[in-house]
Chains A and B, each alone.
Chain A
Amino acid sequence: MRVLHDWLLTPERVAVHWPSRTAVVADLHLGYDEARRRRGDAIPEESVLAPLEPLGKVLCEYRIGHLVLAGDLLEAANCREALASFETWCREKAIQRIALVPGNHDAGLPSLASDTPLTIHARGVRVAEWQVIHGEGRLPNGPLVQGHEHPWVRWSPKRRTIRPRSTRSRIASGTIDASCYLSDSRRLILPAYSQEAAGVNVLSSRRWHSFRCHAIAGDRVVDLGEVSTLNRRLSATNAHYREPTAD
């Protein structure tokens, strides 16, 4: 779906700036399992490339020329294996430029191989009038695209309590559990690309009230409107829902 005129939000958790054919993706946290294993967890080894497949698909489908990585490319700067695999992946993609804006997890990143299109931009990258940053600490003025927050929308209807004594609230069906984009007129917040990252529920803090929520449902991104009223609207809508009666 398209928001803010020029941005296409894909269900692969990658935002595309349509006029410049630039893709922006945040919080890849590559090498998450490698970092955990180093700390002593006995977890299975996984390929670095498999999680990059959806990103590759977006790059191909929209014929992306530029890719901006909005921070936290790696889970930890010492995930060398993950970085090496990622550099190989970069070489294989026919992309003119890949810009990395380092995030808090990338602190102490080793120098990058010179034969890749990957370059580091510590202060952010400009995409048309938008500034792409990671998003921790104080934010600059101006229209921003950022990551870091891992927005998620988690909602379950008020459950009709079948406790004998209170039967007032309504019966309810279904729950929502989806990662989402957030936008207002001057800011676009991307979901974490990594599936390993835990999300932060946008409904549980007032901080996100003025944003619009664009949730990812399977292969679609749907606009759920303003966060401040989302809880109320979802509850009101769901209250009228009845499961079909056929056996």
Chain B
Amino acid sequence: MNGYRYSFHYGKASTHFFFEAVDIEMTHRRLRFPQQAVFSLPLDSCGGFIRAVRSYNNRIMETALEGLAFVDPPHVSAWLERRPAVDDWFRRRYGEPTAIQRAAWSVLPSGRHLLLSAPTGTGKTLAAFLPLLTQLLEEPTQPFPRLRCLYVSPLKALSADCERTLTANLQELGAILPGANLLRVAVRDGDSTAAQRRRMRRHPPDILLTTPESLAVLLSQTRAADWFADLRWVVVDEVHALAANKRGADLALSLERLSELVRGRLQRIGLSATATPLTEAARWLTDEPCAIGQSHEATPLEMTLFPLDEGGNFLAHLVDRLMPEVRGNRATLIFTNSRRLAEQLGWALRRNLPEMEGQIAVHHSSLSAQRRREVEQHFKSGQLRAVIGSSSLELGIDIGVMDLAVLIHPPGDVIRLLQRVGRAGHGPGRIRRGLVLTATEAELLEAAVTAASGQSGQCEPLRIPAHPLDVLCQHILGMAAARKWSADAMFALARRAAPYRRLSRPDFDDCLAYLGCDVSDGVRPALPLPARLRGDSDRFTILNQRTARLVRRNLGTILAEPVYSVNLIAREPDDEDKVIGEVDRAFAERLHPGDRFLLDGRCLQVRSLRPEESVARVEEVAGRPMIPRWGGEGWPLSTELAQRLYLLRVRAAESLREGTDALCRLLRSEYHLENEAVVKLVGFFQRQESIAEIPDTTSSLVEIIPSEDGVDCYVHTPLNRLGNDALARVAVHRLARDHHRSADSLVADLGFALSIHGHLAEPSRLASILRQILGASNFETDLDAALQGSVALRERFQRVAQTGMMLPRQPLGQQRRVGGADWGARRLFDKIQSHDRDFVLLRQARRELLNEWCDVAAATSYVRQWEKLPLRCRRVASPSPFVESWTQRGEGARERVETPDETLLRLHAVLMEEASDARLA
């Protein structure tokens, strides 16, 4: 263990230690891995702790041996100094090169792969591009246009930003470099017209800016091999945002396909904001040796937490607090956790600040792209003083310099906090000022833990989804559409992509079999499905050109929720309506002509609805609007923050036993809270102790409240909503199966509630029932059984079937909806399940549920503890303050002992009885 240094945060409780290793350093190589891991261990197994740290180190050691190396930025850039003209231009235009730029320029000319991690505004784009541009400009002119550099970003807006930067720089560089080439830069994304695409196919640009989806389409063309042959660089922007999801898995496979196509060597360059561990992000980028450049120029972070008054109108308190900030700052960026609140707040601020007419705007993903570009540009040019946005403004879109970032409600994870606050003080050396406004004491506590983690740089580790098979199916088809393949070659290629490094051959073969390729071993009788491929595993290709066309129009992993487009009616009859944004279909279908609703901070009145085109035509009016709701909002607390929050509560309880002063000291010294916040939190903890108790690590606390028809149990856990979802699902399932009880559940961060129907014959048995329904034996089997046939699995299967090309989103020919939008979940699921329970896309849906939708790993380790710890059942009159303030709560599993048919017959019988009683009376 020599050569490593550990520092720990720890929490002590009488039987358990919580360790959090925050900083592991490999001294002999001067490599620094800002890293964390949380361990919670019984005292008697400290040996286990040591082992855990050792295995953790081994992993780090391995990555170091795999050829990853951190780059120390040189003091002066030798590369730049060798080019006096460029050097001169650069200094005139941008000043002194930043550390990240010097680091990049020391690596890029050597041809090594490079991952650059730095906050936005540190000149990352130029760090990556300058050597490439210079080289391209200096080379002799090519006789035919060839694509040589590719830039991929998750957002069209980023491509547009990048295009502006590159074009401007190319012009200026072209002017100073004698005999420079003329380079063409082009953007290709979903908005490109057919004519543009055709032109691009014939005359490729030198530099192409695109999205992962458009890249996949380009790669599946039959001429892809020729088109990409001379490609030398690929730059991937926002690696941290891509690597964590299916879009990243899609792109990772595309990168491997690119490397296969190019004649020479393809140098990969990744740009990322904060991501931990960076080694993981680098491994995502490539499996070859890779250099990592990291910016240490952390600008000072000044974070203020402000608890808003509880009670009364939350929005009014919010507006009162925000008005002076908006007035007092030149540019304020306000982040909400939902589009709904962004709209509400935008509306309220505009009404309360009439003098700022036209200077406050809303920005979220349900506004049209055009409107969002307008807002970004106006904000950058200083025409807007405040923008209220949801997560759409987190990525590195260039919106100029901000004075202050305000977060309404804690953001749920540390990375999001840093990204949001990072938008303020954009630019080297400027202080990043953040203000977090909280609605409740629990939120204040959460914000304190998040802010403290942010200050010490303890971010959530990057989690790369493990080999999504639906995305793999898309790529198998895409590759087969371009040429003939053998299964071995394709499997080897897929395994080089980071998310697929652990892809098993049976999984891969099952994908091939599902798509209609003759897989020789014939272990599983394939479902009788129409084939997409022809040939056997030695040599196969796409079935026909029609299938290739179907595949190309359905590439991509983004599944849009059904929406209505909101079109503003043109003033002049000849003009076209202008698209403002969109609302969920569920919301739109309840609208009638004459109804008013809020979008883009404007009150819109519905003139007409066109359900067949999913369009609502509206006009702007004055008046009180309804506020739309959008689905799919709110995200759980990160696993790490849930643990830390629980741990803070345990420590607070221990301090409180020593006296309130000790608790105040803890909150002030470690969380840097101001007096008002401290007083609130101390009161919060005291109330919890007096009504119930603060849950600790020596027992499991359940609050029990008898209900009208049964009993409600509130279980405190150190897990986030995903972990609690798994627990609640199993509990509800076992209640129905073993105790013949119907139950509802509610899941939240740090706890869940079970509402058990029907009184128990022996109430004293409740504790033993609770013990059994959360027991560790067969936990995973029961979770699997609980998910089997659940609505969640059905819906997930439909989504996987869409991505996996079983139910392409954009089929050929006309659309008919007799089966309804949920046919895949309602009917196809049952048909597939009855044929083959282990069908490859069903398997994928189940894996996703277990790993992303429920946190089965966290839940499993928790139930093991649950069995060992004593259970404390507290009968209380009403839920404790901790329960009252559970965050991110939502409906959990429910199970009915009665089937729908039984319910119908029972209700019918009673209705008949009542009707005959009424007749007799």
CB distance from B520 to the nearest CB of A (A): 21
Question: What CA separation (Å) do A219 and B819 show in the bound complex?
Answer: 24
* Residues in A whose Cβ lies below 8 Å from that of B355: none
Instruction: List which B867-884 residues lie within 8 A (CB) of chain A.
Output: 878-879, 883-884
Which B residues lie within 8 Å of A38 (CB)?
Answer: 813
Chain B residues closer than 8 Å to A159, beta-carbon distance: 744, 894
Inter-chain contacts of B894 with A (CB < 8 A): 159
Select from chain B the residue with minimum beta-carbon distance to A238. Answer: B907
Q: Is the CB of A163 within 8 A of B758?
A: no
A197 touching B819 in the complex, CB below 8 Å, given contacts A160-B744, A160-B755? yes
Interface residues as binary, A150-179 with B (CB distance below 8 Å gives 1, 0 otherwise):
000000000110111101001101111110
From the candidates B530, B883, B897, B911, name the one contacting A42 in the complex (CB within 8 A): B530
Task: Assess whether A243 is in contact with B741, with CB atoms less than 8 Å apart.
Answer: yes
Q: Does B900 contact A (CB under 8 A)?
A: yes
Residues of A within 8 A of B765 (CB): 247
CB interface residues, B 819-871, toward A, < 8 Å? 819-820, 822-823, 826-828, 831-832, 835
Could you say which of A18-26, A29-37, A54-62 contacts chain B? A29-37
> Are B901 and A222 neighbours in the complex by a CB distance under 8 Å?
no
A192-205 interface bits toward B, Cβ cutoff 8 Å, 1 = contact, 0 = none:
00111110000000
Of chain A, the residue at the smallest CB distance from B757 is A243
Would you call A39 an interface residue if the criterion is a C-beta within 8 Å of the partner chain's C-beta atoms?
yes
Q: Is the CB of B900 within 8 A of A196?
A: no
B914 contacts the other chain (CB 8 A) = yes
Instruction: Using CB atoms, name the residue of chain A closest to B806.
Output: A42
Other-chain residue from B742, B811, B827, B883 in contact with A195 (beta carbon distance below 8 A): B827
Among candidates B746, B753, B761, residue contacting A245 with C-beta atoms closer than 8 Å: B761
CA distance A43 to B900 in the complex (A): 28
Complex Cα gap A44–B806 (Å): 10
**Bitwise interface map of A from 117 to 134 toward B, beta carbon under 8 Å scored 1, else 0:** 000000000000000000
B831 cross-chain contacts in A, Cβ below 8 A = 43-44, 46
Give chain B residues whose Cβ lies under 8 Å from the Cβ of A197: 818-820
For A173, give its contact among B753, B832, B896 (CB under 8 Å).
B896
The digit string for A217-247, where 1 denotes a CB below 8 A from any CB of B, is 1101011110000000110011001111111
Docked pose: A237 CA to B914 CA in angstroms: 9
State whether A234 touches B757 (Cβ < 8 A). no
B828: chain A residues within 8 A (beta carbon): 43
Measured CB to CB, the closest approach of chain A to B82, in angstroms, equals 56
**B761 to A41, Cβ gap below 8 A?**
no
The docked-state distance in angstroms from the alpha carbon of A238 to that of B907 is 7
Q: Across the interface, do A174 and B896 meet the contact criterion of CB distance under 8 Å?
A: yes
Q: In this complex, what residue of B is CB-closest to A175?
A: B900
Known A44-B832, A164-B884, A174-B903; contact A245-B808, beta-carbon cutoff 8 A: no
| Contact partners of A163 in chain B: CB under 8 A | 746, 889
CB distance from B114 to the nearest CB of A (A): 41
A26 vs chain B, min Cβ distance (A): 13
Q: Please determine whether B760 and A247 come into contact, CB atoms closer than 8 angstroms.
A: yes
Known: A165-B884, A171-B755, A247-B761. Contact between A176 and B889, CB under 8 A? no
Given the contacts A42-B529, A165-B884, A196 and B819 also touching, CB distance less than 8 Å: yes
A215 to B758, CA, bound (A): 28
Contacts A41-B807, A198-B818 given; indicate if A174 touches B762 (C-beta within 8 A): no
Which residues of B have CB within 8 Å of A167? 707
If A162-B746, A176-B900, A247-B762 touch, does A40 touch B812 (CB 8 Å cutoff)?
Answer: yes
* Stretch of B171-179, B330-338, B708-716 at the chain-chain interface: B708-716
Q: Are A198 and B822 in contact, CB atoms less than 8 angstroms apart?
A: yes
B806, B807, B822, B886 pick with most chain A CB within 10 angstroms: B807
Q: Are B742 and A243 in contact (CB under 8 A)?
A: yes
**A75 at the A/B interface (Cβ < 8 Å)?**
yes
The answer, yes or no, to whether B906 is at the interface (CB within 8 Å) is yes
Q: Are B761 and A246 in contact (CB under 8 A)?
A: yes
B136 vs chain A, min Cβ distance (A): 41
B745, B905, B910: the one within 8 Å of A220 (CB): B905
Contacting B904 at CB < 8 Å: which of A164, A217, A245? A217
Q: Which of B411-468 contact A (CB under 8 A)?
A: none
Contacts of A194 in B (CB 8 A): 818
Residue of B nearest to A180 (CB): B904
Which listed residue (B811, B879, B903) contacts A175, Cβ 8 A?
B903
Known contacts A171-B709, A217-B908, A233-B911; is-contact A44 B896 (Cβ 8 Å): no
Indicate if A76 sits at the interface (CB-CB under 8 A): yes
- Asked if residues A198 and B760 are in contact (CB atoms below 8 Å), the reply is no
B762 touches A224 (CB 8 A): no
A45 close to chain B: CB less than 8 A:
yes
Query: Which chain B residue lies CB-closest to A215?
Result: B904
Choose from B808, B816, B889, B906 the contact partner of A76 (Cβ within 8 Å). B816
| A243/B823 in contact, CB under 8 A | no
Determine whether B902 belongs to the interface, using a CB cutoff of 8 Å to chain A.
yes
Q: Are B826 and A198 in contact (CB under 8 A)?
A: yes
Instruction: Tell me, rounded to whole Å, the shortest Cβ–Cβ distance linking A122 to chain B.
Output: 21
**Contact (Cβ within 8 A) B823 A196:** yes
Asked if A44 meets B903 with Cβ closer than 8 Å, knowing A38-B813, A197-B819, A198-B823, the reply is no
Closest Cβ neighbor of A164 among chain B residues: B879
Contact call B708/A170, Cβ cutoff below 8 A: yes
A162 touches B744 (CB 8 A): yes
Max count, chain A CB within 10 A of own CB: residue among B710, B807, B904: B904
Select A217's contact among B832, B905, B910, beta carbons within 8 Å: B905
Quick one: CB contact mask for B483-526 with A, threshold 8 Å, 1 for yes? Answer: 00000000000000000000000000000001100000000000
Decide if B901 touches A218 in the complex (CB within 8 Å).
yes
B164 interfacial contact with A, CB 8 Å? no
Is B321 close to A, CB under 8 A? no
Q: Does B54 contact A (CB under 8 A)?
A: no
Contact A243 B808 (CB under 8 A): no
A105 within 8 A of B: yes
CA distance A223 to B753 in the complex (A): 37
* Cα-based distance from A75 to B759 in the complex (angstroms): 50
Most chain B CB inside 10 Å of its own CB: which residue of A42, A176, A225 = A42
Contact present for B759 and A245 (CB under 8 Å): yes
Question: Roughly how many angstroms separate A44 CA and B833 CA in the complex, as a whole number?
Answer: 12
User: Is B312 an interface residue, CB under 8 A from the partner?
Assistant: no
Determine the distance from Cα of A36 to Cα of B817 in the docked complex, in whole angstroms: 10
Give chain B residues whose Cβ lies under 8 Å from the Cβ of A217: 901, 904-905, 908
A99-121, CB under 8 A of B: which get 1 and which 0?
A: 00000010000000000000000
- Residues of chain B within 8 A of A237, CB atoms compared: 907, 910-911, 914
Minimum C-beta distance from A187 to chain B (A) = 22
A44 engages B904 (CB within 8 Å): no
Whether B316 is near chain A, meaning CB under 8 Å from some CB there, is no
Cβ contact within 8 Å between B818 and A105: yes
Interface check B143, CB cutoff 8 A:
no
User: B813 CB to closest chain A CB, in angstroms?
Assistant: 5
Nearest B residue (CB) for A222: B908
Tell me whether A174 and B710 are in contact (CB under 8 A). Answer: no
Indicate whether B46 reaches chain A with its CB closer than 8 angstroms. Answer: no
Is B805 among interface residues, defined by CB-CB distance under 8 A?
yes
Q: How far is the CB of B902 from chain A (nearest CB, A)?
A: 7
B296-320 near A? 1/0 per residue, CB < 8 Å: 0000000000000000000000000
Report the Cα distance A232→B898, complex, angstroms.
21
Residues of A within 8 A of B591 (CB): none
Given the complex, which residues of A lie within 8 Å of B906, measured CB to CB? Answer: 174, 241
Residues in A with CB closer than 8 Å to B908 are 215, 217, 222-224
CB<8 Å pairs between A and B, sample of 9: A32-B818, A45-B530, A76-B816, A170-B708, A171-B710, A174-B902, A198-B819, A217-B908, A224-B911
Closest A-B pairs by Cβ, 8 of them = A198-B820, A174-B903, A243-B758, A39-B811, A164-B879, A217-B904, A222-B908, A171-B709
Given contact pairs A40-B811, A160-B755, a sample of 9 additional A-B residue pairs in the complex whose CB atoms are under 8 Å apart: A39-B813, A41-B806, A42-B529, A160-B744, A171-B708, A171-B710, A174-B907, A177-B900, A196-B823
Question: A residues touching B (Cβ–Cβ < 8 Å)?
Answer: 29, 32, 35-46, 75-76, 105, 159-160, 162-165, 167, 170-171, 173-178, 194-198, 215, 217-218, 220, 222-225, 233-234, 237-238, 241-247
